Structure 1
């Protein structure tokens, strides 16, 4: 009775005869927008057959068993992702689907949906709403006035006014100024990445003039080592490496020219808007400039696919587009490759319009010399080739009878029918003989080893003389011309690029014209047609103009946020590569906009922005905790004290070299290969590392100049969180793991540098352990030891013959050495 009553109460929609029609209507209304012609997740719900086939997660239907049918489980919100995205179906609709599947999921024909072409065309037209444009990051950069604060003396720098205002509202007290020794060590490590010498420390400590700090800051920003330090931060963001990655991980011997371009540009204080334009379109902006050409290497540093295909080309373009957006816009656009961005107002069409900007570009190894030099180089090589040619012919004549005898012996071992095919003249062979002969001839060869074993003594001596003559001539060959990894185009009329449905090259939609992110462009950005005689389409030049425009709300905000992050430990926006809706909100939005507007008004000068931040009272605060502040703002988001931070991997290695006294401070040049234990890369025959021993002075360069091979990272750097260069890294991990302590204590490099440090102390301070300890503290920590520290150090140094070196190793392993004060 109860069962009959329940059926009477159900709507007629649930009667078995009507289930196929009702299920079809539910699917059409709620599902086909994504899983019809568009086939998101490769799932097509338009027919029973395609539901049984399923998509990326498996079959959508298991007839007769709704609990095993993903269609039902997602619709009932039993599993994730819960569907449809707009909200759960009504209970009766879920019941319809369950009963329909229980009856075997019958379906007459296909679920009626939009015409495929119409459905796909809808994907190419996703408007941006006014509400989406009102998100803070997409608003024009404002120019807020620095707020008034109670402690006006602390707020002479506008940065301090903004920070103090936020602290006063929360009842926080800023930390006092750090002592002068702490400040000078902090500034040197932060600006140049190298510790100050004791003499540099004392010069600042004893300089009591009113502008002593500003003078120190200006001197550090003028140092060539400033560019090296801040280039490292930039190279993380642009995924720089000296090799292509993946299985073959082919070396890029000319990659270093881009790294040196970054160092030069920073040291020259190149305006940041120019810096942007050169890296996106240097070849189009300044065709005759080698520096501008080198700058386009930015577009080349994505991982290099071993197999070239249309799919891998799309992957390369995705890397270029994603890295460009991360680097200059602080936005993640990669999601829009397959569908409209799920969180940010980035249409899939915008993605492919921007892809059209880079589609015509191709990788080139550009020679950095003029046409006359190239011609002279070719002529010189031709002269060497001409001189060598007679010797090659002599060797070939000597080797000819040996090759013939060895080949004849190999042929004699072949089956008779193949020997007959080889003896038959090619024009008289049957089709089968021709096939057999071709296949065998490809495999018949004579190796160098077989030849050398066959030579007579006289012929071996003659060939040895020829080889020596050729080697002498090769020495006269000119050195390879300097070249750079760059990009170029094949003229002003590029091939069409297309909107790709679901990101698949096999599902091309409309041809795309170049464009920019609609949410950031208040009006359509112009992409002029290139002249017929132009070397390229000039699309990248126009796109770079949009990126570097003062009206673009993101590049200035993103860049000053990156500077702030490296000076103060965290960005005002803590997600430096994601200013979108899933990113962090700014802790001080008015300060961020003030800094961005100031940046542009100062001609996009990076050094001026560094100076502004470094000369603030905030930068000079001590890093000590204040209990009352910590209770109200435990994460220090309002910056009431200077955060304590561990020096990154390269800085730690560089500091050891500098303190030990054997750092090679040469700026620029090819990368170096320090020693790496072969056991770390012997598993692959395709990966090599020509490492030099730890005592080879050529490896005592700054870590910026260590060859960055994606598959063979330097262990000392890897263990301290150097990124893998596969993608953009805007903020390094800061792990604390046992292998870090083991590396610092037992690594061959650490032990060697401890010995060099000890030798320096003997030279500087003589044999007295007390003076050695004092000098060691000044070099390592920029301060003299306390009485108790000095006494303990003396006792330890005297405890064994290796006491001084062990003491130096202990200093390298101390927190005070490894952390910014």
Structure 2
């Protein structure tokens, strides 16, 4: 019953067929209309009791009201005398599910939810008592800290804590990634006139120790194309290339770098790199893969952050705790969308928080903390306790749809929505009443497919079922919940059974509901953000072997033990705070000088994208299973410089781009290759195949169709329906390749986890599920097939040809010159002119085919 689908306007049906059991079943539930404003909990009074206080109160309450039946007698197999008995549960299942009152049998019983009603033969609990139990379950549902509740097979808490400790040794703290960042001295330059800044001194010093010599400088056309592709993700236009080549001033290169960093397209390029790390997607994943229409606001936040040169420390703080730093700021709330990017729909809160812990540690610290969920890290000094202390930072979070309009607009919108719903309520009830008998016919058909004993269990009223029937009925419900999308009863199916006069009546009621739907106020713009339920968070426990059934002691928030010099103190939230401030404290540590990882990790990422490989070639794995830095002193110098420059990201780009190292050619030398075939000493610049998005954008730019507008909702370019319609019920609102709305940059293509844009997937775009620090660079046949046969590529090749004909006229030689300029950023040589002109003249579609060929050349597809 957890899976829902809109059925008409009022009810939903979920029908499931469990192939392993051969069942077919339909369950009808009510669907609640989602409000366009943030959660109602924000208006609820805060409870100031701590988890330990709640646990003690509930324990005392249970001993008074429940122990007669659930003590020595163990009615139903449930013993509530100890925490161990509580966690074990009874014959009908677990009595409590931590953090989930609705899934806890004990809570259902005291709420008289269904046939299970407790206390039996006694007055029901008061509202205050029920609320206390609910809060206790939300806080973790444990009596581990309550005196007198740890007997009966429970483990002594002190002994349990001993097992949870894993001391960090001094030698482990001396591992290169965990030592403090100290700015090293810049080596003396040994090559006259080669060093443009300290980067070159470190690179040249390392080369000389290996007996290597740097290759010559790249020519100016190569440099301008390289810089444009690196910084903007777009090649230069012929005019932009000529302007740089013809500028003979000594300041030409630094001036070009500054112009590129000032371009709004810089933010688009570098936002895409960050989106790989944080597994950005516009849909929720899993089997439903629900679209997240408002997610693009976080993507636009990234673009604006890079363009405005937002200091990296602020960038980190806003994404992790924007709501705790500036709850009134739309920008800060949008930034917390980072915490909403993970796949949604798995239903397991622990897994969802694990995804946050794992992604955050990889992205900001370059450490695989997620490996310590079930045991101490096998290779790095990361205790399991560190994992759960960091988990306790993120566990209190709850999803918030933050309105991007003033409060009075929210109130007015809510009131109007409620007015419409009140008018629709009797109409929906009438519609449901009309549908009910025909819907039941379809339900009965499905139930008839069950085995006789399953049919009997399902049809028997819940309060009259035997224990076996109860289990069978529950099994049916569970199966429906898992497989509800496999078979759906639709409104169309129900209406088809109705006589004509009933159909007319049904249509009239439905029309009235629809007319009221049309009067509903517009959906308010919102941001997918994060908040908490109050300043006192619920308890998070150490889980031995990672199992919720092997709970240890309650965790306090903490940071990575091996990476801190002193104990880190988390701030106490003010009395009026709406959250615990744990994420704020964690963010402060990440960007503090006490943490040696954050600056090193980020400057290595800058280096990786400019120079093809990182100084550490495993950018999100700075532990022992990763690679050691090729230039450890350079890495530390860059990290120290990054912090001293106020965490300015543009300053780091400028430093790297203006180095002589960056301006080297990509040619090999036999002597160097024999010593360092992998170019770990950076004695030349590598040629790098462009990413999928840059390839598509370059095609659009060459064709003259690229829409350069920045920001806004995502676009849906055409995807062949055969790729998804026959295998799923998912939808892609694709528009034809001829629609100009699809000609925007690839950054804005809707990122749906279950329907990948074929060109992106073929050219190694990440899977949108995991944090990806470096993309694969494969060479496979489908890449050539996409570029030769894809309809978008063919359409844009035609547009490219139309542009060339417009700008160069009808002469084939002139067309070759213009086409080569536009696609490759250089003048056509003699061979280009001879062969190209003959090719164009030899066919009615010669120009379009020639343009298409240019889009397939390695020279077009690689950064020089």
TM-score (norm 2): 0.74
After TM superposition, the structure 1 = structure 2 runs for residues 722-801 of structure 1, keeping only pairs within 5 Å, are 722-801=765-844
Residue 462 of structure 1 and its aligned partner are, at CA, apart by: 8.6
Work out the CA distance in 2 between the residues paired with 1:512 and 1:596. 32
Work out the CA distance in 2 between the residues paired with 1:407 and 1:550. 65
Shift in alpha-carbon separation, 1:410–1:623, aligned structure 2, 3 A: closer
The match for 1:584 among 623, 627, 638 is: 627
TM-score (norm 1): 0.78
* Contact residue 196 and residue 658 of structure 2 kept, 8 A: no
**Superposed CA offset, 1:491-522 (max 9, x none):** 01111100000001110001111111111111
Work out the CA distance in 2 between the residues paired with 1:152 and 1:352. 54
Q: What does residue 365 of structure 1 align with?
A: 401
Work out the CA distance in 2 between the residues paired with 1:409 and 1:618. 76
Aligned residues: CA RMSD: 3.0
After TM superposition, the structure 1 = structure 2 runs for residues 161-560 of structure 1, keeping only pairs within 5 Å, are 161-306=201-346, 308=347, 312-382=348-418, 384=420, 392=427, 396=430, 451=495, 474-560=517-603
Residue 163 (structure 2) pairs with residue 123 (structure 1): yes
SS in 2 for 1:528: coil
Residue 203 of structure 1 and its aligned partner are, at CA, apart by: 1.1
* Contact residue 430 and residue 509 of structure 2 kept, 8 A: no
* Contact residue 438 and residue 497 of structure 2 kept, 8 A: no
Shift in alpha-carbon separation, 1:135–1:692, aligned structure 2, 3 A: same
Residue 463 of structure 1 and its aligned partner are, at CA, apart by: 7.7
Work out the CA distance in 2 between the residues paired with 1:305 and 1:349. 27
**Superposed CA offset, 1:668-689 (max 9, x none):** 1111121112222234434222
Work out the CA distance in 1 between the residues paired with 2:836 and 2:590. 56
**Superposed CA offset, 1:740-791 (max 9, x none):** 1111111111111111111111111111111111111111111011011111
Work out the CA distance in 1 between the residues paired with 2:630 and 2:289. 41
Residue 642 (structure 2) pairs with residue 606 (structure 1): no
Work out the CA distance in 2 between the residues paired with 1:431 and 1:199. 83
Q: What does residue 659 of structure 1 align with?
A: 702
**Superposed CA offset, 1:657-711 (max 9, x none):** 1111111111111111211122222344342222212212121111111111111
Q: What does residue 155 of structure 1 align with?
A: 195
Work out the CA distance in 2 between the residues paired with 1:503 and 1:804. 63
* Contact residue 240 and residue 725 of structure 1 kept, 8 A: yes
Give unmatched runs, 5+ long, in structure 2. Answer: 1-154, 449-462, 478-488
Work out the CA distance in 2 between the residues paired with 1:750 and 1:473. 45
For the pair shown, the structure with the greater C-alpha radius of gyration is: 1
* Contact residue 282 and residue 292 of structure 2 kept, 8 A: yes
* Contact residue 247 and residue 686 of structure 1 kept, 8 A: no
Shift in alpha-carbon separation, 1:373–1:611, aligned structure 2, 3 A: same
Q: What does residue 659 of structure 2 align with?
A: 616
Residue 376 of structure 1 and its aligned partner are, at CA, apart by: 2.0
Work out the CA distance in 2 between the residues paired with 1:755 and 1:370. 48
Q: What does residue 422 of structure 1 align with?
A: none
SS in 1 for 2:629: coil
SS in 1 for 2:194: helix
**Superposed CA offset, 1:16-61 (max 9, x none):** xxxxxxxxxxxxxxxxxxxxxxxxxxxxxxxxxxxxxxxxxxxxxx
Work out the CA distance in 2 between the residues paired with 1:601 and 1:267. 20
* Contact residue 407 and residue 446 of structure 1 kept, 8 A: no
The match for 1:633 among 642, 651, 676 is: 676
Residue 147 of structure 1 and its aligned partner are, at CA, apart by: 0.8
Residue 794 of structure 1 and its aligned partner are, at CA, apart by: 0.6
SS in 1 for 2:215: coil
Shift in alpha-carbon separation, 1:490–1:175, aligned structure 2, 3 A: same
Work out the CA distance in 2 between the residues paired with 1:117 and 1:385. 53
Residue 362 of structure 1 and its aligned partner are, at CA, apart by: 1.6
Work out the CA distance in 2 between the residues paired with 1:451 and 1:674. 35
Work out the CA distance in 2 between the residues paired with 1:118 and 1:684. 54
Residue 755 (structure 2) pairs with residue 715 (structure 1): no
The match for 2:741 among 698, 705, 708 is: 698
Work out the CA distance in 1 between the residues paired with 2:725 and 2:735. 17
* Contact residue 589 and residue 595 of structure 2 kept, 8 A: yes
Q: What does residue 77 of structure 1 align with?
A: none
Work out the CA distance in 1 between the residues paired with 2:685 and 2:588. 37
Q: What does residue 713 of structure 2 align with?
A: 670
Q: Which moved more, 1:341-350 or 1:479-488?
A: 479-488
* Contact residue 280 and residue 540 of structure 1 kept, 8 A: yes
Work out the CA distance in 1 between the residues paired with 2:515 and 2:689. 53
Give unmatched runs, 5+ long, in structure 1. Answer: 1-114, 416-429
**Count of matched residue pairs:** 678
Q: Which moved more, 1:468-477 or 1:733-742?
A: 468-477
Work out the CA distance in 1 between the residues paired with 2:336 and 2:821. 43
* Contact residue 288 and residue 345 of structure 2 kept, 8 A: no
Work out the CA distance in 2 between the residues paired with 1:409 and 1:218. 71
